[in-house]
Amino acid sequence: MDETARKNLLEEYSKTRSPESREKLILEYAPLVKVVAGRLSMYLGYNVEYEDLCSYGIFGLIDAIDKFDMMKDVKFETYASLRIRGSILDQIRKMDWIPRTIRQKQKQIDTVIKQIEQEQGRAATDAEIAQALGITDDEYTDWQSQMKITGLVSLDEFMESGSDVVSTPGNSTTAHFTGPEENIEKQELVKMLSDAIESLTDKEQKVITLYYYEELTLKEIANVLEVSESRVSQLHTRAIGKMKGKLGPYMGLLTDR
């Protein structure tokens, strides 16, 4: 089915709400669920089966089909991708399978990074973080690998919840904020996000941009940056840790909404 036919089908369903049109849309966009699930499975590894991720994502697709507004200036694929990703991550959070030891390590890393940056007035290096934790550089690299799923969930929570206030390249969204106080919060939030990104190194910024905005895979990013996939994963994890430290209470501003 070409783009025009898909658009016509979406318009038909928005008017008739017929089960037949809904079923056709689910079948037509099912491959999008597989794409989103495939990207997330790279981070989840063997903790969750790929087929399970697809099952969780289908609920997001159905939700997107039912709630999509044809009058909004946004592509359905963009809107649906956010819903699918959100549905998968919501289920993962409900499962709460992330071991307590990993949560504790993440908390230790966050605390150490904050302390070093307060003392030095600059971004903490991997060597400094490892030394402060009392572990070797290799052990810290292993910790980073374990942390990547917590980072993925945290940033996706941020981007999903804030998708109404922060526009990404090629994606127009409708602002959630309406009152004067909310508009001030929006401006502060955007500035905090900008500052958080600026705190990253050049390569970390590229990884965040290529992964979340350009939607490249780890392998594709590795080819662009001419580094290994494991190095891309390390850069991603470190970037998330820095951004979480910079955003601080603003994470709550979004996720409590």
pLDDT for position 133:
93
Same-domain check for residues 15 and 55: yes
Kindly state the percentage of the chain with pLDDT values over 70: 69
Same-domain check for residues 168 and 232: yes
Query: Please, are residues 9 and 28 in contact by the beta-carbon 8 Å criterion?
Result: yes
Q: For residues 7 and 227, which has the higher predicted lDDT (pLDDT)?
A: 7
Q: For residues 151 and 103, which has the higher predicted lDDT (pLDDT)?
A: 103
Same-domain check for residues 7 and 61: yes
Beta carbons within 8 Å of 91's beta carbon, 6+ residues apart: 56
Same-domain check for residues 223 and 204: yes
Q: For residues 253 and 45, which has the higher predicted lDDT (pLDDT)?
A: 45
Token duo for residue 244: 């979480």
What is the C-alpha to C-alpha distance for residues 141 and 98, in angstroms, rounded to an integer? 18
The CATH number of the domain holding residue 146 is: 1.10.10.10
Q: For residues 102 and 154, which has the higher predicted lDDT (pLDDT)?
A: 102
In tens, the pLDDT along 43-55 reads 665 567 788 889 9
Same-domain check for residues 156 and 219: yes
Same-domain check for residues 77 and 170: no
Same-domain check for residues 110 and 222: yes
Q: Is 72 helix (H, G, I), strand (E, B) or coil?
A: coil
Of 35, 69, 95, which residue constitutes the final position of a domain?
Answer: 95
Banded pLDDT at 121 (limits 50, 70, 90): confident
In tens, the pLDDT along 210-225 reads 876 666 777 788 888 8
pLDDT for position 181:
43
Query: Please, are residues 237 and 151 in contact by the beta-carbon 8 Å criterion?
Result: yes
Of 95, 119, 138, which residue constitutes the final position of a domain?
Answer: 95
Q: 30-44, 57-71, 125-139 — which is least confidently predicted?
A: 30-44
The average pLDDT across 178-188 equals: 48
What is the C-alpha to C-alpha distance for residues 180 and 10, in angstroms, rounded to an integer? 35
Domain span holding position 236: 100-255
Same-domain check for residues 205 and 134: yes
Of 38, 60, 95, which residue constitutes the final position of a domain?
Answer: 95
Same-domain check for residues 142 and 248: yes
pTM here is: 0.50
Q: Is 47 helix (H, G, I), strand (E, B) or coil?
A: coil
- Half-sphere exposure (Cβ direction) of 13: Cα atoms closer than 13 Å: 21
Same-domain check for residues 124 and 88: no
Beta carbons within 8 Å of 193's beta carbon, 6+ residues apart: 162, 166, 247, 250
The number of domains in the chain is 2
Same-domain check for residues 123 and 229: yes
Alpha helices in 121-256 (DSSP H): 126-133, 137-161, 180-198, 202-208, 218-225, 229-247, 250-255
**Looking up tokens 């980072």, which residue turns up?**
151
Q: Does residue 171 register a pLDDT over 60?
A: no
Same-domain check for residues 113 and 205: yes
In tens, the pLDDT along 55-99 reads 999 999 999 999 998 888 788 998 898 899 888 888 877 765 566
The CATH number of the domain holding residue 7 is: 1.10.1740.10
The average pLDDT across 34-40 equals: 85
